[in-house]
Structures are given as structure tokens and as C-alpha cells.
Amino acid sequence: MQVITGLNLLREQGKMTWNERERGWFATPDEVLNALSGDGFEERGRESTTSRPDGRPAGGLWQGVNTRTGTVASAIWVNGPGWQQAVVFIDIDGESLGDPDAQKPRA
């Protein structure tokens, strides 16, 4: 998996925290997307949904590709009413970016 310096920085700054119950990251989507862009991912698609009276997006998705390496990054997020941050699900080349403290099972 490509090293994702920008996302690591967000985690270190406490701007992106793992939530085991949701199995996703609490973060501000724009900060996650900016971090991915800063790591060389060029936006290829972005959509958001708005179905709430306040006009704030209820969720969205983004996909980018690193043209140098061919690595693809995807982010999907969900905003709950009154939430300060969204739950963001991040995938790099088909591998979910999950809890950095969890140990992966060995085959």
C-alpha cells in the first residue's frame, strides 16, 4: 500500500480518529480529501448528497488516482444530524484503511 503521509498527519494531529463501533474514521471530509490530494491523488470523481433542511451534505464519495503509481484511493462519508465530523471510510487500491492499532490476522 502506498504511504499516505497526509492521513498519518491528520491522525497525529487528532483530526482523524478511528471509531470501532462505526468501523470508520471520524474526520472532516475536506481535510481527508486534501490530504489524499497532497499525497499525489488526482480527483477523478466526487459526488455529494443533500437531503437535509439545512442544506449540509448528508454524505458523499470521492475517488482519485495517483497517475505516477496507478494507485486508486476512494473515500465515502456520512454526516449525521448535528455531527461535528463525518464518518469517513477510506480505501486504497481495494484495501480498507482501518484501525491502525489492530493486528491483521495471518494466513
Q: Are 29 and 46 in contact (CB under 8 A)?
A: no
Amino acid at 96: S
C-alpha cell at 41: 491523488
Q: What would the pLDDT profile of 26-80 be if each residue is shown by its tens digit? A: 999 999 999 999 999 999 999 988 776 766 778 999 999 999 999 999 999 998 8
| pLDDT beyond 60 at 107 | no
**pLDDT of the residue at 103:** 44
Q: Are 66 and 2 in contact (CB under 8 A)?
A: yes
Measured distance CA(79)–CA(61) in Å, rounded? 12
Would you kindly state where each structural domain of the chain is located, as residue ranges?
5-95
Residues in the chain: 107
Q: Which of 39, 38, 85, 87 has the alpha carbon at shortest distance from 61?
A: 87
Measured distance CA(55)–CA(42) in Å, rounded? 27
Phi, psi of 36 (to 5 degrees): -65, -45
What is the average pLDDT score of the chain? 87
Q: Of 102 and 50, which is predicted with more confidence?
A: 50
